[in-house]
Amino acid sequence: MKVYIDGQFYDKKDARISVFDHGLLYGDGVFEGIRIYNGKAFKLAEHIERLYQSAKAILLEIPLGKEEMEKTILNAVATNNKNSGYIRLIVTRGEGSLGIDPATCKKATVIIIVGDIQLYPEQCYENGISIVIAASRRIPSDCIDTRVKSLNYLNNIMAKMEAKQAGCLEAVMLNKEGFVTECTADNIFVVRNGALLTPASFHGALHGITMQLVKDIAATIGIRTNETTLTSYDLYNAEECYMTGTGAEIMPVVKINGRVIGDGKPGPITKELIIRFRELVMSQ
């Protein structure tokens, strides 16, 4: 594995950043997770655009322009000779003082890691998974806009730990008003009356790249999507439920907090979307 850090590639064992980097000290930075299919970075332009929007929102100046960033990422994929895998693109505030003042950080640090992707077992896609609703609430959007994909994921990590303690692979998070936001690493959809419903961004959901792609696929087969307000009641009474994300792709959910969703199996709309998603990915 060759890791890119600020213009150079390093072997995994030699890839290091300063202990004074504010990404390490304070979670001050942004990131993107990008899939590699058939040797190509999937939806790269969309991921780069979201990265720069996140950086702009927190006044973080990325030292590479968008075109240069794209070329650098593609070079990292080629250098690692990855046909299938995962890219972790990270931009930290950079090295600074022990105080939180970002002005002490003279230049942002750019890191590109190209490695393997940790996938769900195939039987999860065939049979669906069980999830729980976490007690840990999503950080309110009036504190930090959740559209910023920042390095500070402790909120999500605590919910993930709850899922593991409950014997589940994933947990869905509510905001302080009790509305559904997203899972710890994925967006969530329910099917009701033949339509797809997913939480609106203002409730605390990240606008996912895979989420948008699935909405586009659904539109091509005449299925409408609404970004709306959902509660746990809507999850429990869904006809179908699934999660979307870079790693998960489209993952059926068949049980939430012990309540069986639909007939307890991945539903027809979910299965159709999975098929069409995989066809699209392979074609591109």
pLDDT for res 219: 96
Mean pLDDT of 96-125: 94
pLDDT for res 282: 85
pLDDT for res 146: 86
Please name the amino acid found at residue 255: K
Q: Which CATH number fits domain 122-283: 3.30.428.10, 3.20.10.10, 3.65.10.10, 3.40.50.300?
A: 3.20.10.10
Query: Over the stretch 245-261, which tens digit does the pLDDT of each residue have?
Result: 999 999 999 999 999 99
Weakest mean pLDDT among 67-76, 118-127, 180-189, 254-263: 118-127
The answer to whether residues 29 and 90 touch, using CB atoms and an 8 Å cutoff, is: yes
pLDDT for res 86: 96
Architecture of domain 2-115: 2-Layer Sandwich (3.30)
Please give the Cα distance from 120 to 130 (Å, whole number).
13
Please give the Cα distance from 61 to 52 (Å, whole number).
9
Taken as a whole, the chain contains a residue count of 284
The answer to whether residues 115 and 85 touch, using CB atoms and an 8 Å cutoff, is: yes
pLDDT for res 18: 97
Of 284 and 261, the structure prediction assigns the larger pLDDT to: 261
- Catalytic: which of 43, 82, 149, 215? 149
Residue 284 pLDDT greater than 90, yes or no: no
Residue 87 pLDDT greater than 90, yes or no: yes
**pLDDT band of 215, cuts 50, 70, 90:** very high
Mean pLDDT of 217-243: 97
Question: Which residues are CB-neighbours of 199 under 8 A, at least 6 positions away?
Answer: 179, 180, 181, 182, 187, 188, 205, 227, 228, 229, 230
Weakest mean pLDDT among 90-94, 115-119, 264-268: 115-119
For the chain, domain boundaries: 2-115, 122-283
Relative to beta strand 109-115, strand 2-5 is: antiparallel
Q: Is 149 a catalytic residue?
A: yes
Mean pLDDT of 107-134: 94
Percent of the chain with pLDDT over 70: 100
Please give the Cα distance from 68 to 177 (Å, whole number).
42
pLDDT for res 78: 96
- For residue 222, CA distances in Å to 11, 116, 190, 211, 244 come to 48, 35, 16, 17, 19
Please give the Cα distance from 134 to 157 (Å, whole number).
11
